[in-house]
Each structure stands twice: as structure tokens, then as C-alpha cells.
Amino acid sequence: MIKMSTDFLKLLGKMDRITAAAKKHTRPAAQAGAQVYQDEAQTRAPVSAKPHSTKGKKQTFQPGNFRNAIYQAHMKEESGEGVDKYRVGWNKKKAFYGGFLERGTSKMAAKPTIRPTYDAVKDVAEATALRTLQQGIAREMK
């Protein structure tokens, strides 16, 4: 005769610890994924050869202004327990013309940055976020 016993309470306790650790590390994991997108978007962003101005020369923009306006931000209102979201885009106050670059105008062809970035590094960003989450959980479980 074979006898077997399992301590399910101990197993459930460990599962609760894993769940708590995962919830604690969702924001760092999401941020790590967003960082991949931001870095790639800044690499792909068009940079003019010389400064350019608005009509009437009210504002002058230095080369690299659009690239430097690309940022990531935590979306607090769309995040919650176990869910954290970040957005990556350009600061419209620093580079109002980002939409013109992204979509083009009647006089200028589009030079998209955000969509090609997403397509190019989606898998890398997801893997980075997952790896960061796994490392955080592993540290908590020690």
C-alpha cells in the first residue's frame, strides 16, 4: 500500500507569495518594456541637418528637438493592482510638429517613428518586461 500526503496550505501560501510579488513588480516590468520602445523611437526619430523655425520665426527648433521630445509616462489612471501601463510618445509642447512628421502633410511626406518602432521592437519589449518581472519575483521568493 502506498500512502501520500500533501500540505496544500503550504503550497497555497507559496502561491500567495508569488502573486503578491508579481503585483509588486508589474510597474518596474512595464517601465522596462517602455524603455525599450523609447530608446528605439529616439534612435529612429528624424533629425534635421540645421535649425528650423516656425512661420514668422517665432520659435526656432534645434536639430534633435523631436528626438529629445520623445518620452515615456506612467498612465496612472489606466493602471491598477497588477496592471501598469506606460505610454511612449512625443511632448507636444516641445515638438508640436510631431504629428506632421508622423503622418505627413499635403506638402511633406510622412516620416513615421512611433508605429515602425512598435513593429520593430514589440517582441523585445515584451521579453524585457517579462524578464524584469521574473527577476523581481525571484528576488522576493528568496
Query: 26-66: per-residue pLDDT in tens?
Result: 999 999 999 999 999 999 999 999 998 888 778 889 999 99
**Which range is least confidently modeled, 12-16, 32-36, 129-133?**
12-16
Cell numbers found for residue 82 = 497588477
Domain-embedded: residue 2: no
Domain-embedded: residue 66: yes
> What number is the average pLDDT over the span 80-96?
93
* Residue scoring higher pLDDT (78 or 9): 78
User: Given a cut of 90, is residue 95 above it in pLDDT?
Assistant: yes
**Which range is least confidently modeled, 3-12, 32-41, 95-104?**
3-12
What distances in angstroms separate CA 99 from CA 39, 102, 116, one per listed residue?
19, 5, 14
| pTM, entire model | 0.85
User: Given a cut of 80, is residue 133 above it in pLDDT?
Assistant: yes
Domain tally for the chain?
Answer: 1
| Residues of the domain holding 39 | 11-46+61-141
Query: pLDDT tens digits for 68-83?
Result: 999 999 999 999 888 9
Bridge partners (DSSP) of residue 38 are: none
pLDDT number for residue 119? 96
Domain-embedded: residue 3: no
Q: Answer for the pair 113, 45: CB distance below 8 angstroms, yes or no.
A: yes
Domain-embedded: residue 129: yes
- Mean residue pLDDT across the chain: 92
Nearest to 87 by CA among 9, 12, 30: 30
pLDDT number for residue 37? 98
Distance CA 59, CA 69 (A): 15
H or E stretch at 14:
helix 8-24
Distance CA 97, CA 59 (A): 12
